[in-house]
Structure 1
Amino acid sequence: MSEVNEATTEATSSHNDVTLEALVRVANIGLSIGVTLSVGGALVSGILASGKEYMESVADLFEGVNEQGEHLASIYRRFAEGVYSEAIPDDANIEFIHLKDATIYHGTTDFNISLWRGKLSAVDGFSFGTLKK
């Protein structure tokens, strides 16, 4: 089978948009680029973040809050160091996309949130760049 046929078969058999999945893979090694995602009728706009950066940022939110917050912070730091400590192999399944400085637009309402995590397979479409009002 030719490389083109293999790529076409892979692209049509996956539940994820392979171009968006490629961006997520590159984000996991340091790319920061603005994207806007269409997810279930809403738009989610923000800066791509690596899984490790996302987990570390969540840990920072819990750190210093109280004893339970410290416990949660340690759990998320373990995720950052365990799950996201090394480059993800090319053949590994990518399941989640992470954004920082995110805004969710739903109808006429928008919600500014610092971090967003979603299932890659739930993304209906995407564009480069973030939305501005």
Structure 2
Amino acid sequence: MSEKQNHETEEKELTRVEDGILLSLIFMTDEQFYSLEASITLNIRGSIISGTLISRDKYYDLLAKELESSGSETAKRISDHLMDFNKMSKEREEKERKEKEKNSLPNFIHLKDAKFFSPGIDSSLPKQEGLLWRGRLDSIDGFSLVSIR
């Protein structure tokens, strides 16, 4: 690795700040023992996303069901691919945990019934049902354990 690449990597590592509370909630939702779902509102670069925090497995299950309900063969193939991806991803993370002898940190947060709120807009998007949503943890500026409806 060149000196410049090494310096850029160090800067990136220094700028990532993990929120222990948020990470704990995500770990709890991802563990089968807890099966936690929690109302949450996220602030991301001035926009607000509000919904219910769910596990990665539940996110993929719900997404697969949404795709399959369309009846399209293409959607069914995508659904199957997503379920395979989730399984491989979990296996890779388990292997990393065993090799490092510590928990690897999640990179994503998963919501159901997500609605988006932006300054200057009086209502949420979408107006009716919320959506499934997946976002990068390092993009979150703040959060609250309540949901805006």
Q: Check whether the contact 2:53–2:111 (CA below 8 A) recurs between aligned residues.
A: yes
Deviation at 1:27, TM superposition (A): 1.1
Equivalent residue of 2:85, what SS?
Answer: helix
Unaligned runs of 5+ in 2: 1-13
Query: What residue is the counterpart of 1:49 in the other structure?
Result: 54
Q: Please tell me whether residue 31 in structure 1 is matched to residue 31 in structure 2.
A: no
Aligned length: 121
Q: Check whether the contact 2:47–2:117 (CA below 8 A) recurs between aligned residues.
A: yes
Unaligned runs of 5+ in 1: 1-11
Query: What residue is the counterpart of 1:117 in the other structure?
Result: 134
Per-residue CA deviations over 1:12-71 (Å, capped at 9, x if unaligned) read: 985221211111111112110101000111111111110011111111111153121111
TM-score normalised to structure 2 length: 0.72
> Hey, what's the Cα distance between the residues in 2 that align with 1:56 and 1:79?
12
Deviation at 1:82, TM superposition (A): 3.2
Identity of aligned residues (%): 26
Give the superposed CA RMSD: 2.2
Which residue among 3, 10, 20 is the counterpart of 1:18?
A: 20
Structure having the larger proportion of residues in helix:
2
Deviating more after overlay: 38-47 vs 78-87: 78-87
Q: Check whether the contact 1:52–1:85 (CA below 8 A) recurs between aligned residues.
A: no
Deviation at 1:93, TM superposition (A): 1.9
> Hey, what's the Cα distance between the residues in 1 that align with 2:92 and 2:28?
13
Query: What residue is the counterpart of 1:5 in the other structure?
Result: none
Deviation at 1:77, TM superposition (A): 1.4
